[in-house]
A = this chain, B = another copy of it.
Amino acid sequence: MTDTTARIPKLTRKGQATRDRILQAAVELIAERGVVGTSTEDVRKAARVSGSQIYHYFDSKQALIRAVITRQADAEPVPGRPMMGALDCFDALRAWADAAIQRQEENGCRGECSLGSLAGELGAADEDSRQDLSNGFLRWQGLLEQSLRAMRDRGDLRPDADLGELSLALLTALQGGTLLTQTMRDIRPLRAALNAALSYIHSFAADQR
């Protein structure tokens, strides 16, 4: 994977902060206006930096976008809900799904610049971005799979449950549900998708009932 980040030899705390401010501004603008609807000039204004600052920290708009992608990919699939070690029983999984739903409701079913939206917008167009996105999804799937593995180790899930498939089902439900929910501005798609996925996972519970 090409590195689009390392440009500046040294980067003081302040430099880091400015770079982050630019990145954060890009994330927020893209969330509400999409990649195409966001010009570097918009980002510059929103980040309150002047002139050539953006091109001081990023090689190109593409590099900035890719930095946005990896930032989102390194974040939690459901913002504010850390997964590591926490999702290890059915109740926790249910709570995680409910948090995703609640978050969308609070946002008025508006975009969040999650990987899913970015994938829709960029996937077809740019191969480099597509790979970054692919890696992001892979990472998220890994996180989910790890949680499911913890559940299986605890004896919640049957030993023969295919964790790869289950984690994929959950991830696609989250992404598909979010896509429809944001497009239709209606929380029901996401709710139905996650209900179905959880129920499917539950059908592999060790103790049925």
Give me the interface of A with B, judged by CB distance under 8 Å.
Answer: 31-34, 36-37, 111, 116-125, 130, 133-134, 137-138, 164-166, 168-169, 171-177, 179-180, 182-185, 188-193, 195-197, 199-200, 203
A172 surroundings in chain B (CB, below 8 A): 173, 176-177, 179-180, 189-190, 192-193, 196
Task: Give the residue of B33, B125, B188 whose beta carbon is less than 8 angstroms from that of A125.
Answer: B33
A176 surroundings in chain B (CB, below 8 A): 116, 171-177, 179, 193
Task: Across the interface, name the chain B residue whose C-beta is closest to A111.
Answer: B124
Given contacts A34-B125, A117-B124, A120-B179, contact A169 B184 (CB under 8 A): no
Chain A at the B interface: mostly helix, strand, loop or mixed? Answer: helix
Given contacts A33-B125, A120-B120, A123-B117, contact A196 B184 (CB under 8 A): no
A189 surroundings in chain B (CB, below 8 A): 137, 168, 171-172
A138 surroundings in chain B (CB, below 8 A): 184
B33 near A184 (CB under 8 angstroms)?
no
